[in-house]
Amino acid sequence: MTYPLQPGAAPGAAQADAQADAQATPRARAEIDLGAVRANVRALRARAPRAELMAVVKSDAYGHGAVPCARAAREAGATWLGTATPEEAFALRAAGDTGRLMSWLWTPGGPWREAIESDIDVSASAHWALDEIVAAARACGRTARVHLKADTGLGRNGCQPADWPALVAAARAAEAEGAVKVTGIWSHFACADEPGHPSIAAQLEVFHEVLAVAGRAGLDPEVRHHANSPATLTLPESHFDLVRTGVSVYGLSPSPEVGVAAELGLRPAMTLSGSLALVKRVPGGHGISYGHHYRTPGETTLALVPLGYADGVPRHASGTGPVLVAGKWRTVAGRVAMDQFVVDLGGDAAEAGDEALLFGPGDHGEPTAEDWARAAGTISYEIVTRVSARVPRAYVNRSDSGSTGG
Ligand SMILES: *Cc1c(COP(=O)(O)O)cnc(C)c1O
């Protein structure tokens, strides 16, 4: 067990208070199905049977809650966790996680030493980073575990192939001194969510070259890794020793081109809902919300949904976002405001306190995060990740077949 805490063990005090309050006054609620997280991890492991699985839990597990999701992922056999920032990794250590854990987004100044002392695998894309890692390792008398990142074509982080031989030579020298161990060599795809995109094969070819250069320099990493969720789902030759899955752990398909979540064996873990704050009759011709971008076509019933862009509901979904209220899909009428939006129920009845389901797995006819992504001109990753801290998370265990894998 990499977590001493048991599943369902008491969350932190603040979280427990938030949950108690959420039960008392459920203005809004994001229900997170940890059974779905576990089932998704098992489904992904079955897709990449020869590789280890890293559950990417950056940005509070894409809005789902890093600590409970990390624990669920570990239970289902994720041998690695991944975060963008070191602070996100420290929070997992503080919560009791002791397994392999990597952070990849570093800026000059670290905090390298804290990471090394917390047994976090770090990443270097450039000489400045390797130099700072070596200095921190010497200062604390420990060997830093480092993943060297190559830019195989994403054009974002990572060392350019032209600079790679010098970086691996420096890393090898630092290994000889005992300051570092190069535990990983890795990169990241640009277009894996568009299966067949020519950049995919090109990136893999470059990756094989950078691995060969590293091997000739004497590096022998534990894990070579390049695959994100879409590559894990569509491209076995990209799996190498480790796959880094994020969005799919939370049950969302990386893109419509990769497939529909259910057909990929994935189950959305988050359900976002609210409790209607007001239902009222208004006459025809009534302007609705800021700017009056919607006007009631006739006498009608309006329902007020108490979530807005401060909760993560995209303002870009004004006039387009779908929500299940009183048994039917409604569309956001007029603008999404900071704290609330309105839907027009037409002739249908509802009352204050009734549920508004913004998105979920779709079982009850509710929209999905993918539907919101389409409505707002974005991707489902952003829809779940932007659900803000003002929305209490409630953890449940459904959709879990029970086996723990691992
Ligand atoms: C976010 C991220 C991932 C996970 O990507 P998904 O498409 O969500 O699976 C993997 N690797 C890196 C470097 C990332 O930043």
Tell me, yes or no, whether 245 and 341 share the same domain: no
Range of the domain at 347: 270-396
Q: What is the pLDDT of residues 36-78, one digit of tens each?
A: 999 999 999 999 999 999 999 999 999 999 999 999 999 999 9
Q: Is the CB of residue 188 below 6 angstroms from any atom belonging to ligand 1?
A: yes
Tell me, yes or no, whether 348 and 226 share the same domain: no
338 Cα–ligand 1 center, Å: 29
- Of 3, 58, 294, 309, the active-site residue reads 58
Q: Is 181 in the active site?
A: no
Q: Is the CB of residue 294 below 6 angstroms from any atom belonging to ligand 1?
A: no
Tell me, yes or no, whether 295 and 203 share the same domain: no
Is residue 259 one of the residues assigned to a domain? no
Is residue 351 one of the residues assigned to a domain? yes
84 Cα–ligand 1 center, Å: 9
Is residue 265 one of the residues assigned to a domain? no
Each residue of 22-53: b (16+ CB within 10 Å) or e? beeeebbbbbbbbbbbbbbbbbbbebbeebbb
Q: Is the CB of residue 266 below 6 angstroms from any atom belonging to ligand 1?
A: no
- Of 149, 250, 280, 290, the active-site residue reads 290
Contact (Cβ atoms closer than 8 angstroms) between residue 375 and residue 13: no
Round to whole Å and give the CA distance between 200 and 96. Answer: 37
**Residue where one domain finishes, among candidates 199, 218, 251:** 251
**Residue where one domain finishes, among candidates 224, 251, 278:** 251
Is residue 10 one of the residues assigned to a domain? no
Tell me, yes or no, whether 247 and 279 share the same domain: no
Tell me, yes or no, whether 53 and 149 share the same domain: yes
**Residue where one domain finishes, among candidates 223, 251, 279:** 251
Ligand-binding annotation for 29, yes or no, is no
Q: What is the pLDDT of residues 291-333, one digit of tens each?
A: 999 999 999 999 999 999 999 999 999 999 999 999 999 999 9
Q: Is the pTM of this model over 0.95?
A: no
Q: How many CA atoms lie within 13 A of 202 on its CB side?
A: 10
Please report, for the domain that includes residue 293, its CATH number.
2.40.37.10
Q: What is the pLDDT of residues 361-384, one digit of tens each?
A: 999 999 999 999 999 999 999 999
Is residue 154 one of the residues assigned to a domain? yes
Contact (Cβ atoms closer than 8 angstroms) between residue 59 and residue 385: yes
Tell me, yes or no, whether 195 and 325 share the same domain: no
For the chain, what is the domain count? 2
Tell me, yes or no, whether 372 and 291 share the same domain: yes
Is residue 26 one of the residues assigned to a domain? no
3-state SS class at 226: strand
Ligand-binding annotation for 270, yes or no, is no
Tell me, yes or no, whether 113 and 173 share the same domain: yes
Over 80: is that where the pLDDT of 12 sits?
Answer: no
Tell me, yes or no, whether 189 and 300 share the same domain: no
Q: What is the pLDDT of residues 128-142, one digit of tens each?
A: 999 999 999 999 999
Q: Is the CB of residue 229 below 6 angstroms from any atom belonging to ligand 1?
A: yes
Please report, for the domain that includes residue 239, its CATH number.
3.20.20.10
Tell me, yes or no, whether 100 and 217 share the same domain: yes
Is residue 370 one of the residues assigned to a domain? yes
Is residue 406 one of the residues assigned to a domain? no
Tell me, yes or no, whether 115 and 169 share the same domain: yes
Tell me, yes or no, whether 126 and 188 share the same domain: yes
Round to whole Å and give the CA distance between 77 and 55. Answer: 10
Q: Give, using CA atoms, the residue closest to atom 1 of ligand 1.
A: 246
